[in-house]
Structure 1
């Protein structure tokens, strides 16, 4: 069986350029490193370093085996990390169901921190409609979820209100509404409004409707696409409009009747009475501040 410490000596000697530098890095005497490399060469029946020069250099055989040594050391570290995770009660994986409209830039930062903190816990990210988020968490298909709040929530889920998601009215820059400095309710009547609708529950948006012509979509990203092509106007989440909306093909509408943006409530949900491990608990606590 190969000795991981000897493999580390091989890798470090190549990276640092000498047996003495490797020994200093490992806190050992040079003779211990030299002997460790020699023992590894005996085990592999291969000469790893050319010692005829002042600076030891890898032989062609040593160079060929170097990547294998690095791979074994990485696997060894992953094994130790996985064992430590088990000891800390970290979940091997977390299934995270989320309404696609809630994929905020800050969420990506949270997931990046998660990956750095829990290196062996895999995230399964599913973007679906809010009604499906609740169902998946309730039946155990998902461990945690983010969704638009629903007063008719399932009893099997635990709710945590985390804030509100601001929505703004927008249209394409070439749309007639874009020419108006202030848009009144009556100005909207002749124009098509594109609304969010959860087709799983035949549930329409809680947003106000104007005029008689409405189109529906179950995804705010699709709604934005329709608006960008000039098919109508719509309310979409603030982060989809973006701070640089002036650089996009969208115009944020200045409504005379909206003193503040429409902001539906958002819930973070988990299965009721379910014990959470270390990684899921950390994610749950971080998501509480997503809309702060």
Structure 2
């Protein structure tokens, strides 16, 4: 009977499915392997389908098991979210608000929202970090931070809730005295011409982009570990690259940087990327975190 299904059975099923073996699942759950095998067998009997093919050296999910694994994950995430909400109803004010922000997001807006939060909760300490690419998502997945801000659609996790905030303009720029900068008024560049010049690229501190590059058009790259370093290298004339418009607006207005003369990097060398406020669905947000989130959303509007 389906009514006899338990959350423990589903959690055991998901753990075994993710670990790839009954032994691995038992180790993760700190149980003996026979208890895990028994729980899976009971679940299969109640569902009326085989979840694993046990004919080989290691158990392999059946097609039915693969389909139902997604349902089990979804149920567990919803239960975790319900538990977190229930815990949050009785919690008091946080001692610390920890926040990790994508380098593409304007940090002054973070400061303004934190100031707003502190006017309501002046005794809450703040821990703030800035990281590129997969860094903010890793910070939440690894439980090192309570809130994060990520920019773009490339970094998602089913355990992380997202709230859209605003669009960040990302513009391809080069120093005015760079050879590409001197071409700014002389017709559009093709990709082959871009490949003749060094591109300044931001490195990912996480492992989420291993083997992948975002917007890299030149085989010649200079990889740096901070947005400020990337900005400085582009301004120096070392190479070209993409930076958030808020960071280079003054440089563009005063002629130190120019937009890349190519349509291969967006209309007018600019694209928009959505910024999201993120948090774990299984950890309740305290009062200070909620006030900060609302303040930031108002500022972004």
- Indicate whether 1:285 and 2:294 are aligned: yes
Going from structure 1 to structure 2, the CA distance change for 1:101 and 1:224 (only over 3 Å counts) comes to same
Residues 193-233 of structure 1: CA deviation (Å, up to 9, x unaligned): 122331522264432x4343222234322211111221111
Equivalent residue in structure 2 for 1:222, among 220, 223, 229: 229
| Deviation larger for 113-122 or 252-261 | 252-261
Equivalent residue in structure 2 for 1:239, among 239, 246, 255: 246
Quote the RMSD (CA, aligned, Å): 2.7
Displacement, 1:159? 1.9
* 1:13-32 matched pairs, under 5 angstroms: none
* Residue 203 of structure 2: aligned partner: 197
* Count of residue pairs the alignment pairs up: 205
Going from structure 1 to structure 2, the CA distance change for 1:204 and 1:238 (only over 3 Å counts) comes to farther
* Residue 258 of structure 2: aligned partner: 251
* Residue 11 of structure 2: aligned partner: none
Displacement, 1:269? 0.8
1:263 is paired with a residue of what secondary structure?
A: strand
Residues 81-121 of structure 1: CA deviation (Å, up to 9, x unaligned): xxxxxx99322210111123324332222222222232111
- Indicate whether 1:120 and 2:118 are aligned: no
Going from structure 1 to structure 2, the CA distance change for 1:194 and 1:244 (only over 3 Å counts) comes to closer
* Residue 140 of structure 2: aligned partner: 137
Higher Cα radius of gyration: 1
| Deviation larger for 88-97 or 274-283 | 88-97
Q: Is the 8 A contact 2:134 2:205 kept in 1?
A: no
Going from structure 1 to structure 2, the CA distance change for 1:210 and 1:139 (only over 3 Å counts) comes to closer
1:163 is paired with a residue of what secondary structure?
A: strand
Unaligned runs of 5+ in 1: 1-86
Displacement, 1:152? 5.4
Distance (Å, rounded) in 2 between the aligned partners of 1:137 and 1:256: 36
Higher relative contact order (Cα pairs below 8 Å, separated by 6+ residues) = 2
Displacement, 1:251? 2.3
Going from structure 1 to structure 2, the CA distance change for 1:250 and 1:203 (only over 3 Å counts) comes to farther
| Deviation larger for 246-255 or 220-229 | 246-255
Unaligned runs of 5+ in 2: 1-89
Equivalent residue in structure 1 for 2:274, among 240, 259, 265: 265
